[in-house]
Amino acid sequence: MEGYADVAICCPVSVPYQRHSPHSPVWFFCEALSRLLGAAGLAKGEIDGLAASSLMHAPDTAVALTRDLGISPRWLEWLPTGGASGIMAMQRAARAVAAGDADVIACIAADSARPDDFARLLANFSHASRAAVNPYGGLGPNAVFAMITRAYMTRFGATRTDFGRLCVSQRRNAMAYEQALFRKPLTLDEYLEARSISEPLGLYDCVPACAGAEAFLVMPVARARTLGLPYAQLLAAGERHNAYPADDIAWRGGWALEAERLYDLAGRGPADVDLLQTYDDYPVISFLQIEDLGFCTKGEAGRFVAEHDLGFASPGLVHNSSGGQLSAGQAGAAGGFLGLVEALRQLTGTAMGNPMAKCQTALVSGYGMVVYDRCLSSAAAMLGGDGL
């Protein structure tokens, strides 16, 4: 694989999350683009590429957004891959910029939270869910991830206390992150005593749905320097789909197949990572990423979390510095961009109330598009700071 030496990732922006909003996904896409243009000092006509992701925008895709946004890009990507979409958007945009297919690409994920949106999404999420899961009462993600969580607990002896420590750690980070929806302290006892949602999942294991958007720009390094924009550099990235199809229930993901290649291209490994941003729609999914990316051996993520501070002010490894989706919120497909946008803020010195003591290398991973027993898309990226 070739590197991305001449590509800058910059201008991380968010449209603040709202638990409920009357606005459509298009409104959030437009607001995100407006914020990107303001952050970069660009005119709308200078955006010649768009990578977009949304769960609620169907049946329209990115091509309809070009009209809504009033842009005429020469490069276009639509990524209905949920939690893996942010990394996939960045990697594909970086390749396009390196090849000269576009000069400035806006990568945006946005979703709404109107009363009927979630019900409509569940009813039409996929043919597989509609035909083989929903008729048996498995409507929605909680039951699926409860099964995955129970299988992990049975295989490795993990406990709810192990998962609770991750949730409590992330809530501490969220308390300093200005845009997190949940900033009230959370204790381990409160986590364990919370009402059951889908055994063994309790209230604080389940990601809170909301509305909002996340976005960033991809452009040549020379363009970022001319504009005076601080930027991060993409060191390596990879994606893998339908990993380990013979596994009955997911207990590992595509990161295990791509990690060695990722670290070889980046020239850095787990020991060099200052910030780890895992996709955390449920705690067990963060556990899988921590293990498969080589931060501990398989089945040992609970011990790893117990033995590390992981807070944004920690001198060691920081995990999900914004509180992750479990505390910041999951704005649909924007949840797949949240960790990446937060990593860009930390790497470019633009953190929102939660600056890390040191952040020169960040590893971001994603997981998306759940079916009955697993998510199908895995992605990961290494980024370096110190750009301008």
Beta strands in the chain (DSSP E): 7-18, 49-53, 75-78, 105-111, 196-198, 201-202, 211-220, 231-241, 275-277, 318-319, 361-370, 375-387
CB 8 within 8 A of CB 233: yes
User: All domains of the chain, ordered by start, with CATH?
Assistant: 7-117+210-230 (3.40.47.10), 136-206+232-387 (3.40.47.10)
Q: Are 383 and 87 in contact (CB under 8 A)?
A: no
Sign of CA pseudo-dihedral 249, 254, 257, 259: negative
Peptide bond into 200 cis (omega under 30): yes
How far is CA 342 from each of CA 26, 129, 242, 294, rounded to the nearest angstrom?
Answer: 23, 32, 27, 22
Closest to 280 in 3D by CA, of 125, 356, 166:
166
pTM, whole model, 2 decimals? 0.96
pLDDT of residue 387: 58
Return all residues near 375 (Cβ < 8 A) that are at least 6 apart: 82, 83, 84, 250, 253, 285, 367, 368, 369
Per-residue pLDDT, 113: 86
Alpha-carbon distances of 199 from 147, 151, 195, 196, 300, rounded to whole Å: 8, 12, 10, 6, 22
Which residues partner with 318 through β-bridges?
275, 310
pLDDT, averaged per 10 consecutive residues of the chain (388 residues), comes to 92 96 96 98 98 93 97 97 97 98 98 81 75 76 94 98 98 97 98 97 96 98 97 97 96 97 97 98 98 98 98 96 98 97 97 96 96 92 83
